[in-house]
């Protein structure tokens, strides 16, 4: 498909080439991710700039609209999921899959805030991110299934929807969220 977006290329095209500008861009993405996870889609742009250690003008030079910032943060999170999948691919199947899913939980916290802000809107960036996420997780799931570690009747879509459902609930602590995730993942394991 000629109009298909590759997430890593989307980010590379938007990331400034000058070293200091690239550091500011990266700092803004990290600060926005943190702010969206803490405060949702309504996180203050001024607070994001302050967290990144830059002025509001720098934020707007990199991200002219809130939507540009949302898309870049979302794409960065998905790109990171792809990197994590590659990093854990040499681990045994079950630890590799669960390591990737734990990073997916962090992504889901940011995704929720961005999706709330853009409810009802679709973009080629979000569709490319979804495909990239499935492309990263599918080999890990298939390898775990082939090793007999994961039930065979589960698809990557089933797995990601289950974990997304867990992360959509507010937990009083990360410990409880992690415990509930562990319980759900026990249901994913193949019965021997």
Q: pLDDT in tens for each of the 192 residues of the chain?
A: 334 557 777 788 888 889 999 999 999 999 998 998 888 888 899 999 999 999 999 999 999 998 889 888 888 888 888 899 999 999 999 999 999 998 888 887 777 667 666 655 666 777 788 888 899 999 999 999 999 999 999 999 999 999 988 888 888 888 998 899 999 999 999 886
- Return the structure tokens found at 103: 């990073």
Give domain 7-188's CATH superfamily: Tetracycline Repressor, domain 2 (1.10.357.10)
The Cα 72–Cα 70 span in angstroms is 6
- pTM for the predicted model, two decimal places: 0.78
């Amino acid at each position: 498909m000629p109009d298909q977006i590759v997430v890593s290329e989307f980010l590379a095209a938007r990331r400034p080439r000058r070293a200091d500008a690239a550091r500011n861009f990266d700092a803004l993405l990290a600060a926005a991710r943190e702010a969206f996870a803490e405060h949702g889609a309504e996180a203050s742009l001024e607070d994001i700039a302050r967290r990144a250690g830059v002025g509001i003008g720098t934020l707007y030079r990199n991200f002219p609209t809130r939507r540009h910032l949302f898309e870049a943060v979302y794409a960065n999170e998905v790109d990171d999921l792809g990197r994590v999948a590659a990093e854990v691919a040499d681990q045994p199947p079950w630890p590799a899959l669960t390591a990737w899913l734990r990073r997916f939980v962090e992504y889901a916290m940011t995704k929720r805030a961005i999706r709330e802000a853009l409810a009802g809107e679709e973009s080629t960036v979000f569709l490319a991110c979804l495909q990239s996420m499935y492309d990263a997780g599918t080999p890990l799931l298939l390898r775990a299934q082939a090793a007999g570690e994961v039930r065979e009747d589960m698809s990557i879509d089933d797995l990601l929807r289950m974990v997304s459902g867990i992360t959509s609930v507010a937990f009083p602590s990360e410990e409880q969220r992690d415990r509930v995730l562990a319980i759900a993942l026990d249901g994913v394991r193949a019965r021997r």
